Structure 1
Amino acid sequence: MQSESAAPSFADLGVPQRLVDVLDARGFTSAFEVQAATIPDALAGRDLCGRAPTGSGKTIAFGIPTLVNTAKARPGHPSALILSPTRELADQIKDELAPLAKATDRTVTAVYGGVGYGPQNQAIRRGVDVLVACPGRLEDLISSGSVSLAEVGVVVVDEADRMADMGFLPAVKRLLDRTKSDRQTLLFSATLDGDIAELTRRYQHDPVRHEVGEVEPDMTAMAHHFWSIDHEQRVDHTRDAVVAAGPTIVFTRTRHGADRLCKQLGKAGVEAAAIHGGRNQNQRTRALEAFTKGHVQALIATDVAARGIHVDGVACVVHFDPPEDDKTYLHRSGRTARAGAQGVVVSFVRDNNRKDVKTLQRDLGLAQVVTTPDATLLGDGSRHREATSRQKAQPAAKAQQSSPPKGGGGNGGRNRQRTRTRDGEDRAAGKSARRDDRPARDGGKPRTRTKPAERRGADGVVDVDPRPRKQRQSTDGRTNPPSKVHRKGGGAKRQAIEASRPR
């Protein structure tokens, strides 16, 4: 890898000075390897396919030539298109290119599913020069007539290998077919074989090829652990791993499994957030921010949702559900041990998947023995023991808080309020009660009012006193008459009813 002293400046690569100034202001004084290799050819208008790992600086590598080679667009007809496999990556690309776009008097916006169409349609109608898009949402916008690709002269396909993994290549081909035939096509991928090679042959003209960086994550920078556990022990051991290692990404196979594990970890004392295709964009963004800022200790993710998410400082990866193959293991595990840091990877092994684990280890060249779980090997053992002691003390404290006061409960458990659990689920503790979500006057708990029992008498009057008649005592010991309310009618009707009663 080239040293920083030998790395060329962006000006040396032919980048316009106004963009060099923006990069300098952001602290980018020297080009990364992929940028130095690809920017000159891309600025010259060549088709290009580049193999580079995630986090290598690809966005700047294709972003600068795209902005320089793109003409101003008219409303609904963007001049450049950048295709992204995930919403998170699309947002990252847009945010990274925004300062550069401003310096070149170009506009950039991102469109993707999971959010409303309204703001995206409005942005397109105002005019977008560079459109960053996920394939599915872009096809929807084309079908509705909101956008046309007929004037797109520059196309970037980012993370093409992930597009293939997620089944997006047919949509990518349909979108490319809608662009100008003489367009410039820039393709970036972690691999350039198989489906990606076919895409290159069909949609690129005499492309220049650049391959830089590592093809796969550095497996030697990770400590790999394979733990033999029972199915019902998975949550407890996940908690132990998070507490011992630090910030952890936990991979599950399904959305439901991610949500369930998130709640279970919360009850076990570990703050967690789930991210998957069933969450809308705002929920996914909040989960990522909470994890990045350290507000939650664990991020529970499905394989598809985690693609395009790049978070530094991940100490541990847990394969809660086993990966489908060695490629998935590499992709998941590569979330840790980034940028030269060390990382820990934990895989749960059960009796029904031991054979698959052996095959996986053979394909990956790993020789770790399947062992009993030991979270103290993952990080600070003293921190794990302290957290375990706190966890053992929690049930007794919760039981003491939830026990009813002596002498209370005169209503025999009826009409007790709903309580709200920590993970947001309602738990009925008796008959249901209506919750008043308005804030309490004293700043305490929200007020809760119990719906009174209603009894209709022979005279059509509704009795709203919830107590049995025999229990309605006044302060002097005499029985109080029930308060009476008429559903309809005013004073005249009440007088008519009173007059009709036998005296």
Structure 2
Amino acid sequence: MATTFEDFKLNKQLLNAVTEAGFTTPTPVQEKTIPLALAGHDVLGIAQTGTGKTAAYVLPLLMKVKFAQGTNPRALILCPTRELAMQIEENIKVLGKYTDIRFLSIYGGVGPKTQIEHIKKGIDILIATPGRLMEVYLKGDLVLKELKTLVLDEADKMMDMGFMPQIRRILEVIPRKRQNLLFSATMQERVEKLSEEFLEFPMKIEITPSATPVETVSQVLYEVPNLPTKINLLAYLLRDQEQFTRVMIFTKSKKNAENVFKFLERKIQGDVRVIHGNKGQNTRINAMEAFKSGEVRFLVATDVAARGIDISDVSHVINFDVPMIYEDYVHRIGRTGRALKEGASITFANEAEMHHIREIEKIIKMQIPQATFPEEITVATTGFEEKQDIAKEIDNQKRKADPNFKGAFHDKKETLREGVIDKRTGRPFEEKKPTKIRGFRRNKS
């Protein structure tokens, strides 16, 4: 096995860039992937976020493309989100700094005009989200017939986001004779099926068991009854400025993200930004850059930012809400504890969310340690709407487990129907039949 990057027989330009980037020893995914990719094999890689998998396929890609040539791309990297596309582009910029290789990332959220202008100038490596790629291709502004290599990064996330139809269309229009590299954090059945569709005799690499949290991340769970109490707990924790130096806070919805953002902006010391689907592209880029540079202490985000963000020294990830897609728990907490540094994850869960915690624990094959709720924190009363939402969610969970379960709301209705006395009338309860409305003829005037 390779113990240094020199062992991979990379060219001098790449080795110089690797050294300047501060890479010393290859990570396990790099050790296994780089030699296979350089030898031309198709690769199926199961690797967690934060394991160095981007460099594992970017370095062989840069070796293969070698230098700028022609106008049309010779390598295509597909990924699910604009954030990941931008992060991959940044990696290529760092590792390919001493080459003349031209690269570009294209994604939605901004107009395609500028992206098309860059494509027409000539590119060697194209990074794209599936929707934007097909949009530009169908306009006739992108030629894909010279592709030699295809990389699918975060394949499981692309499937969760419903990109399979676009991926299948892309596979129909690109050359059949090519090298394929597929990377996924989890080996779902759908990922396996996709790999069978387009990989030819792939070499499988599994660095960690499917959906395993990064070992350098400590995890803790607080059972919190409602949204106002979650806010109180968040405020209590974040007052510790020595420990909570750079924090990502994940919420399940744009509404919750905005509420947490506004609270932190008013009450807690330290700059804060928020990113979610309603934020413009420039706003999101600026927020990420400010957080990455250390200007901003807190970044509030929905799961749009759970993957593809490589920021060093994130001290804590706080799951303000438990993710509904269970694998996203691993991706969220993978934002901390990167590059063998220690990190911490804290999760808040109400009564309904505890069900999802148990399901997450099955996937990660471990129990998340539960912390004692601090006595200093005020436990707020659960509001009527939130109480109803939690009760409905618990009903839905029980109904999934037992199709015959009718639910608390149904039981209340049935009890009224079966009661001997109807309190409104004082008589035995009877089901009212629908009133028939007879037709009538209007007199002609």
- Partners of 1:114 and 1:85 in 2: CA distance: 13
SS at match of 1:188: strand
1:372 maps to 373
Counterpart amino acid of 2:213?
Answer: P
- Partners of 1:104 and 1:96 in 2: CA distance: 13
Does the aligned pair in 2 maintain the 1:310–1:335 contact within 8 Å?
yes
Q: 1:146 to 1:14 in 2, by over 3 A?
A: same
SS at match of 2:5: coil
Shift of 1:340: 4.0
**Correspondences of 1:198-347 after superposition (within 5 Å):** 198-213=193-208, 215=210, 216-218=212-214, 221-244=217-240, 245-246=243-244, 247-270=246-269, 271-324=271-324, 326-347=326-347
Counterpart amino acid of 2:294?
Answer: G
Counterpart amino acid of 2:367?
Answer: L
- Partners of 2:338 and 2:34 in 1: CA distance: 25
1:138 maps to 133
Q: Deviations over 1:268-299 (max 9, x none)?
A: 23432111122222211221222233333221
- Give aligned-pair identity as a percent: 36
Does the aligned pair in 2 maintain the 1:229–1:372 contact within 8 Å?
no
- 2:42 is the alignment partner of 1:41: no
> Could you list the runs of 5+ residues in structure 2 that have no partner in the other structure?
378-445
Aligned counterpart for 2:91 among listed residues 96, 105, 130: 96
Counterpart amino acid of 2:121?
Answer: R
Q: 1:229 to 1:344 in 2, by over 3 A?
A: farther
Larger radius of gyration: 1
2:164 maps to 169
- Partners of 1:175 and 1:17 in 2: CA distance: 34
Shift of 1:66: 1.8
Does the aligned pair in 1 maintain the 2:216–2:340 contact within 8 Å?
no
* Higher RCO (Cα < 8 Å, 6 or more apart): 2
Structure 1 range deviating more: 257-266 or 209-218: 209-218
RMSD value over aligned CA atoms? 2.7
SS at match of 1:210: strand
- Partners of 1:137 and 1:205 in 2: CA distance: 27
- Partners of 1:100 and 1:206 in 2: CA distance: 29
- Partners of 1:353 and 1:148 in 2: CA distance: 47
Does the aligned pair in 2 maintain the 1:227–1:346 contact within 8 Å?
no
- Partners of 1:252 and 1:374 in 2: CA distance: 25
Shift of 1:124: 0.4
Counterpart amino acid of 1:327?
Answer: E
- Partners of 2:376 and 2:106 in 1: CA distance: 42
Q: 1:96 to 1:373 in 2, by over 3 A?
A: same
Counterpart amino acid of 2:298?
Answer: A
Shift of 1:204: 1.4
- Partners of 1:223 and 1:28 in 2: CA distance: 27
1:58 maps to 53
Does the aligned pair in 2 maintain the 1:82–1:157 contact within 8 Å?
yes
Does the aligned pair in 1 maintain the 2:50–2:334 contact within 8 Å?
no
Does the aligned pair in 1 maintain the 2:17–2:97 contact within 8 Å?
no
Does the aligned pair in 1 maintain the 2:316–2:336 contact within 8 Å?
yes
Shift of 1:111: 0.8
Structure 1 range deviating more: 340-349 or 257-266: 340-349
SS at match of 1:226: strand
Does the aligned pair in 2 maintain the 1:135–1:168 contact within 8 Å?
yes
> Could you list the runs of 5+ residues in structure 1 that have no partner in the other structure?
1-5, 377-503
- Partners of 2:175 and 2:100 in 1: CA distance: 23
Does the aligned pair in 2 maintain the 1:111–1:134 contact within 8 Å?
yes
1:126 maps to 121
Q: Deviations over 1:358-377 (max 9, x none)?
A: 5555665326457434689x
Does the aligned pair in 1 maintain the 2:221–2:349 contact within 8 Å?
no
Structure 1 range deviating more: 268-277 or 121-130: 268-277
- Partners of 2:165 and 2:236 in 1: CA distance: 43
Counterpart amino acid of 2:234?
Answer: T
Does the aligned pair in 2 maintain the 1:157–1:186 contact within 8 Å?
yes
Q: Deviations over 1:289-340 (max 9, x none)?
A: 2223333322111113322112232222222222225433333233333444
